[in-house]
């Protein structure tokens, strides 16, 4: 049986050392590496060794009894949570490491929510129980209070606790039938259904509780991978010099060298163990591997019968890349796009002013990039102070017209733009008759709607929550050529935006704040002052828990303020939950100073042709010249 397990934790909980112990106890490594000794198998990058944190997800494999395991070690720092999230799609079971000293921390709750949404079964391992100020009992209580359905395994099966999750076990318990086989079978089923979460404890550093954890993991996990139609998911892209490696999880079927994936041939298959790998001819359902020869599949893409994966973790900050002026900006852009293939959350953009911007999750990520880029590409970069990523949408429904007809070119597109439900992004449908525009050209319009992000006219920020409907259009059998419908589609969207009431959106945090009751008044005042809204506080002993919704722009540095107010006793958890109407649009628009007229990539005018020459019609006159509307 093949099983893929993911190891998750808040930074410094001991996740990488725990992974090392699993590999040591299954005879895959000769000695246990230590993060502080810079000799762990899975933190292989020089930057990871120097900083003592996991930055890139890595994999290994081991065998325990009759089962084969793939182990995915994920980053624990919040700045690299997007890298962590990409691993969730391929795992069968998650192991969350909790420090017996620090208990549940903010990033732990984020990890748990992502795993719950993905319906991934969870095991908890309370680490560092050997520390003098560890409090295992308190952490167990906190786990059950916060997440629920947690059952502690203390060197033996907890018959009474397990009986609460199964009628079969409840009956067996009252009849005093303590048959391990029955309890394991029923518990395995409940774990798989995410109805029960085993909790174990020990010390990864001191090798306490590892053997027992392995046995419980083995007994309570099960997978079933069908060897039928080929299907799988891409969870990681990694370049080894210029060699592109596409990391996949095969969910069904088999894949061999020289097989076709999409429309490309697989030239090599690798099974990775840290930085080492072995080449194999064939992989089967349940295997995790890297394939060579595939250039078009991206992170999150699927093949076969699997559904495409969407991700929740998106950057709310962006920064401009600064580099030596003697360098060609397009060369730097090419390198940044390579990094974006490995980390899609970077959202690399290249402007008409030859400026390159990146999306980022936090300041530590920038520090890492400043080290990664010279090592990878051989030149130094710096970054501007990060700024908030804004978005735009519209409030009303408009008809947008785009016409592109320089000499020997022809395309016209008429689109209806209307507000979409919050969070739905861009959607598209066609109501165009094939008498006016054949299916091939309609598909071109759809392709050009989604091939790139479209900028709004207020700040040049990405347009979102917009329903685009193709109403009609026109092509020419002789003169319509590649790119004509791209030009017409962009102009139709932009001309529609010029007519609409545009709205600036900003990212919003959901803030969970736990503070002493005596500090409640100050925090509630801060929330209001910082343009947030709060729900009624909930009492929790001598503390209160406040749930608030606050702009990222005003609240991103609040942790320090909270620490000062509460003398270090307050706890803040921030989660980006989407976008809402900006609280200070005039200030933002003025500070960004976007010039829509000089943005050559997104024109709102249309181009027509007369007497063998093209001429431009401004957006506010374009409708009267359209061929489809007359």
Identify the CA nearest to 350 among candidates 320, 306, 371. Answer: 320
* Euclidean distance between CA atoms 237 and 248, whole angstroms: 9
Structure tokens that stand for 289 in this block? 């591997």
* Terminal-to-terminal C-alpha distance of the chain: 67
The count of residues in the chain is 630
Each residue of 432-466: b (16+ CB within 10 Å) or e?
A: beeebbeeebbebbbebbeeeebbbbbbbbbbbbb
Residue ranges of the chain with pLDDT lower than 70?
33-56, 76, 305-308, 630
pLDDT tens digits for 26-73?
988 877 766 555 556 665 556 655 655 566 678 899 999 999 999 998
* Euclidean distance between CA atoms 200 and 122, whole angstroms: 12
* DSSP assignment of 382-441: EEPPPEE--EEEESS-EEEEEEE-STT--EEEEEEEEEPPTT--EEEEE---TTTS-HHH
* Euclidean distance between CA atoms 626 and 621, whole angstroms: 10
Structural contact between residues 294 and 244, judged by C-beta atoms closer than 8 angstroms? yes
Contacts of 545 (CB under 8 A, 6+ apart): 512, 513, 514, 537, 538
Identify the CA nearest to 382 among candidates 290, 319, 452. Answer: 319
What's the Cα-to-Cα distance from 203 to each of 97, 151, 342, rounded to whole Å?
11, 19, 33
Q: What is residue 227's predicted lDDT score, i.e. its pLDDT? A: 80
Q: What is residue 98's predicted lDDT score, i.e. its pLDDT? A: 94
Q: What is residue 57's predicted lDDT score, i.e. its pLDDT? A: 78
Using the structure block, give the residue that is written with the tokens 């997978």: 223
Q: What is residue 97's predicted lDDT score, i.e. its pLDDT? A: 94
Task: Please tell me whether residue 135 adopts helix, strand or coil conformation.
Answer: coil
Helices and strands in the chain, H and E counts: 18, 35
Q: Phi and psi (nearest 5°) for 133?
A: -105, 25
Structural contact between residues 275 and 59, judged by C-beta atoms closer than 8 angstroms? no
Which residue segments constitute the domains of the chain, with CATH numbers given?
A: 2-219 (3.40.50.300), 231-303 (2.40.30.10), 317-389 (3.30.70.870), 392-500+595-625 (3.30.230.10), 504-586 (3.30.70.240)
* Euclidean distance between CA atoms 509 and 472, whole angstroms: 40
* Euclidean distance between CA atoms 159 and 408, whole angstroms: 80
């Amino acid at each position: 049986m093949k099983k893929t397990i993911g190891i998750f934790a808040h930074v410094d909980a001991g996740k990488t050392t725990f992974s090392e112990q699993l590999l040591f106890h299954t005879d895959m490594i000769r000695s246990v590496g230590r993060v502080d000794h810079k000799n762990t198998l899975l933190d292989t990058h020089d930057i990871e060794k120097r900083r003592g944190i996991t930055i890139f997800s890595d994999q290994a494999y081991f065998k325990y009894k009759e089962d084969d395991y793939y182990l995915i070690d994920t980053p624990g720092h919040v700045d690299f949570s997007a890298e962590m999230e990409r691993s969730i799609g391929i795992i069968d079971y998650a192991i969350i490491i909790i420090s017996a000293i620090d208990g549940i921390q903010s990033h732990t709750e984020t990890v748990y929510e992502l795993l719950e949404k993905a319906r991934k079964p969870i095991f908890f391992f309370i680490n560092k129980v050997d520390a003098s100020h560890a409090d295992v009992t308190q952490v167990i209580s906190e786990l059950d209070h916060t997440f629920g359905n947690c059952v502690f395994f203390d060197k033996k099966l907890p018959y009474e606790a397990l009986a609460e999750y199964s009628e079969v076990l409840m009956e067996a318990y009252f009849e005093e039938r303590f048959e391990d086989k029955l309890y394991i079978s029923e518990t395995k089923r409940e774990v798989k259904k995410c109805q029960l979460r085993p909790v174990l404890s020990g010390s990864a550093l001191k090798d306490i509780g590892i053997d027992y954890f392995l046995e419980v993991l083995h007994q309570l996990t099960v997978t079933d991978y069908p060897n039928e139609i080929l299907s799988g998911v891409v969870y990681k892209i990694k370049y080894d010099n210029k060699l592109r490696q596409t990391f996949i999880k095969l969910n069904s079927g088999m894949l061999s060298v020289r097989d076709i994936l999409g429309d490309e041939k697989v030239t090599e298959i690798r099974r990775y163990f840290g930085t080492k790998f072995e080449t194999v001819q064939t992989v089967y359902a349940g295997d995790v591997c890297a394939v060579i020869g595939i250039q078009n599949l991206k992170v999150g893409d699927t093949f076969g019968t699997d559904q495409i994966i969407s991700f929740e973790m998106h950057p709310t900050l962006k920064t401009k890349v600064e580099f030596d002026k003697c360098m060609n900006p397009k060369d730097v852009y090419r390198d940044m796009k390579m990094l974006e293939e490995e980390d899609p959350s970077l959202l690399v953009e290249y402007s008409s002013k030859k400026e390159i911007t990146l999306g980022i999750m936090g300041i530590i990520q920038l520090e890492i990039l400043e080290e990664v880029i010279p090592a990878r590409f051989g030149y130094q970069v710096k970054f501007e102070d990060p700024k908030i990523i804004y978005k735009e949408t519209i409030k009303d429904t408009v008809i947008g017209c785009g016409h592109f007809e320089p000499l020997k070119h022809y395309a016209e597109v008429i689109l209806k733009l209307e507000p979409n439900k919050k969070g739905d992004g861009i959607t598209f449908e066609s109501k165009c008759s094939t008498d006016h525009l054949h299916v091939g050209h309609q598909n071109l319009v759809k392709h050009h709607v989604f091939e790139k992000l479209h900028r709004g006219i207020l700040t040049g920020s990405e347009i979102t929550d917009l329903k685009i409907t193709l109403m009609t259009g026109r092509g020419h059998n002789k003169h319509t050529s590649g790119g004509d419908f791209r030009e017409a589609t962009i102009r139709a969207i932009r001309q529609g935006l010029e007519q609409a009431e545009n709205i600036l959106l900003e990212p919003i945090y959901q803030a969970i704040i736990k503070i002493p009751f005596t500090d409640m008044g100050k925090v509630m005042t801060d929330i209001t002052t910082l343009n947030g809204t709060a729900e009624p506080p909930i009492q929790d002993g001598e503390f209160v828990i406040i749930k608030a919704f606050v702009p990222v722009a005003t609240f991103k540095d609040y942790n320090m303020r909270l620490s000062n107010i509460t003398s270090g006793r307050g706890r803040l958890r921030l989660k980006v939950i989407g976008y809402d109407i900006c609280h200070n649009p005039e200030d933002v628009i003025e500070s960004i100073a976007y010039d829509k007229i000089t943005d050559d990539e997104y024109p709102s005018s249309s181009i027509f042709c007369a007497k063998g020459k093209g001429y431009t019609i401004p957006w506010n006159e374009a409708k009267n010249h359209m061929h489809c509307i007359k």
